[in-house]
């Protein structure tokens, strides 16, 4: 029988990971380049392309975070997990304005894309916190409805089907004859709608030096907090009313 040396130093217990979502440069800086190319080639369906890519790329990350957090912090409620994720991504959204460093309309469009991507990540983490599968195709539908791109799930699903079909048949590889400036404006407006920055003047104001910082901080934070509240309302378990009430 092996003898235990009482004088041997005990191995230190493993430190639990932080409860808040970890920073991942690939997911927090900007949408991936391949997604940008699809959105520029098909700006009409830019929100749908972003939602599909978010579920593909961010869904596994959100699932892993939720599973890890529940394992390390079994006493943590779904509500507390969701609030932790919301705080993280609202802070990301607050500082994401003017992150591109690019001037004019291209910089404004990139900022809108960063904000929409950050918000999509938040929604998927909130879904995972409440026990919903962040990799399920329904989450892309949820994103488009929560971000008010579509009013109801049925039209969101139809639009997602169209966008996915266009990807499969390589329709996006054909070169558009539309001038780049028009493409960028259409893309920017679509992303602004998705990110909750609805008024065109807000998008254009972000292209004006000096206005982007102030506008970006306030508008990004406000829009993301509103989206967080809608996400919690959707994913939070409903209270079951007793019979007769």
* Token pair belonging to 139: 């989450």
Burial 66-97 (b: 16+ CB within 10 A, else e): beebbeeeeeeebeebbebbbebbbebbbebb
Q: What is the pLDDT of residue 241?
A: 45
Q: What is the pLDDT of residue 180?
A: 75
Burial class for 193, CB neighbours closer than 10 Å (0-12, 13-18, 19+): buried
pTM of the predicted model as reported, rounded to 2 decimal places: 0.81
Residues ≥6 apart with Cβ < 8 Å to 93:
115, 118, 119, 122, 220, 221, 223, 224
61-71 confidence digits (pLDDT tens): 999 999 999 99
Neighbours of 44 (CB within 10 A): 15
Distance between CA 18 and CA 25 in Å, rounded? Answer: 17
Q: What is the pLDDT of residue 101?
A: 47
106-151 confidence digits (pLDDT tens): 777 888 888 899 999 999 999 999 999 999 999 999 999 999 999 9
37-79 confidence digits (pLDDT tens): 999 988 999 999 999 999 999 999 999 999 999 999 999 999 9
Element (H, E) at 168: helix 153-168
Burial class for 167, CB neighbours closer than 10 Å (0-12, 13-18, 19+): middle
Q: What is the mean pLDDT of residues 225-234?
A: 96
């Amino acid at each position: 029988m092996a003898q235990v040396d009482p004088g041997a130093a005990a191995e230190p217990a493993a430190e639990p990971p932080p409860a808040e979502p970890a920073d991942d440069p690939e997911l927090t800086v900007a949408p991936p380049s391949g997604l940008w190319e699809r959105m520029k080639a098909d700006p009409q369906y830019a929100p749908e392309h972003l939602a599909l890519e978010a579920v593909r790329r961010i869904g596994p990350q959100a699932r892993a975070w939720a599973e890890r957090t529940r394992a390390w912090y079994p006493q943590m409620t779904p509500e507390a997990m969701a609030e932790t994720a919301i705080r993280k991504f609202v802070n990301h959204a607050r500082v994401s304005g003017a992150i591109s460093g690019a001037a004019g309309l291209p910089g404004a469009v990139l900022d809108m894309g960063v904000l929409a991507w950050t918000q999509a990540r938040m929604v998927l983490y909130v879904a995972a916190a409440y026990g919903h599968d962040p990799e399920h195709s329904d989450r892309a539908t949820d994103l488009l409805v929560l971000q008010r791109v579509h009013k109801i799930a049925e039209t969101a699903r139809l639009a997602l089907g169209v966008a996915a079909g266009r990807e499969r048949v390589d329709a996006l590889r054909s070169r558009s004859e539309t001038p780049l400036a028009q493409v960028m404006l259409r893309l920017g407006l679509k992303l602004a709608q998705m990110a909750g920055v609805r008024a065109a003047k807000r998008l254009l104001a972000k292209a004006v030096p000096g206005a982007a910082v102030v506008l970006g901080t306030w508008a990004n934070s406000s829009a993301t907090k509103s989206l967080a509240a809608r996400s919690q309302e959707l994913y939070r378990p409903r209270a079951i009313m007793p019979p007769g009430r």
